[in-house]
Amino acid sequence: MSSSSEPRSAPAESFLDALWAVFGVPLRRQTYGNLVYLTLQFPLGVAYFTTFISLLTLSAGLSVVLVGVPLLIGTLVLVTGVVSVETVLADTLLSADVDSRSVAIDLSDGVLTYAKELVLDVGTYVSLAFLLTKLFVGVVSFTLLTFLFSLTGGLLTAPLLYDRPGSYRVFYNTTLTFAPEVRFVQDLWSITFAPVITLSEWNVDTLAEALIVAAFGLVMLVISLHVLNGVARVLGSLTALVLRHARSLDL
C-alpha cells in the first residue's frame, strides 16, 4: 500500500509547491523587503541627484579660488560613504550579495596622498555614476508602483464603491487615462516624465459584477507583486555587479 501511495504524493507536493510559488507571493517576507527598496528609489534618487550635482557644480565654480578643491574631495568622500549605505540597503532589503570595495580614510601618508588616491581611483567615479543613475531607477520604480497599485486597489475596492455616484462608478463608466508626471527642476533646466496609459471602458452596475472585478483585482495583485519582485531581483543583480567595482567608505 505504501508503494502505491508514494507516487501519488510526489505530484501532489509538486502541485502545492507550484501553487505556493504563484499565489504565496503576498505572504513572503522578501516581497515586502523588495517593495520597501523600490519605494525608496525615487526619494533617494532625487536626493542623490540634487545633492551631488549641486556640490559638483559648486566645486567647479569655486575651483578658480582653490576653495572648490577641498569641496570636491569632500564630495567624493561623501559619495563613497553613501555607497556604503546603499550596499547595506541592498543586502538587507533585497538579500542581494553585494560586495563593494570598502576603503578606509587613511591619512597616515598625508591628506594629499589620500586625496590623490581618491581622485585617481576609477571606483570613485563608478560610485558617483551609480548614485546619479538612481534618479532614473527611482522614476521607473515610482511609475510601476503607482500604476500597479492604483489599478489593483481600484479593482479590489469595487464591491465597496461601485454604486457611489461620482466615485468608483466613474472609474469604469469612462475611459481611464493614467498619466503620472514626475518633474525635476534644477536652475534653468528640468526633466519631465509623464507616461500616458489608457484602459478600456467597462461599466460595473451590480454587486455581482463588482465581485468579479474584485476577483480580477486579486489576480492583478499577485501578478503585480511578481512583476515588482522581478524588477527588484534585476536591480539587486545590477547593484551587485556595479558595486563590485565601486569604492565605498569603510564605516
Share of the chain above pLDDT 70, in %: 78
Q: Is 233 exposed, middle or buried (0-12, 13-18, 19+ CB in 10 A)?
A: middle
For 184, the 3-state DSSP assignment is strand
Predicted pLDDT at 83: 95
Backbone phi, psi, residue 35, to 5°: -65, -40
What pTM was estimated for this model as a whole? 0.78
Name the more confident of 172 and 133.
133
Mean pLDDT of 109-116: 86
Q: Is 148 exposed, middle or buried, given 0-12, 13-18 or 19+ CB atoms closer than 10 A?
A: middle
Average pLDDT score, the chain: 81
% of the chain residues with pLDDT over 90:
44
For range 164-192, the mean pLDDT: 53
Q: What 8-state DSSP symbol labels residue 65? A: G
What is residue 174's predicted lDDT score, i.e. its pLDDT? 41
Q: Is the pLDDT of residue 6 over 80?
A: no
Q: Which residue has the cell 511609475?
A: 143
Cβ atoms 63, 206 nearer than 8 A: no
In this predicted structure, the answer to whether residue 11 has a pLDDT above a threshold of 80 is: no
Q: Which residue has the cell 501553487?
A: 19
pLDDT at 2: 47
- pLDDT tens sequence across 212-234: 888 988 999 999 999 999 999 99
Bridge partners, residue 249, by sequence: 103
Cβ–Cβ < 8 Å for 148, 227 = yes
Per-residue pLDDT band at 136 (split at 50, 70, 90) = very high
163 in helix, strand or coil?
coil
Q: Is the pLDDT of residue 102 over 90?
A: no
Confidence (pLDDT) at 106: 81
CA distance 121 to 115: 10
Distance CA 107, CA 179 (A): 52
* Pairing of the two strands 101-103 and 247-249: parallel
Burial label, 107 (beta-carbon count in 10 A; 0-12, 13-18, 19+): exposed
Collapse the DSSP code of 187 into the 3-class scheme (helix H, G, I; strand E, B; otherwise coil) and give the result. coil
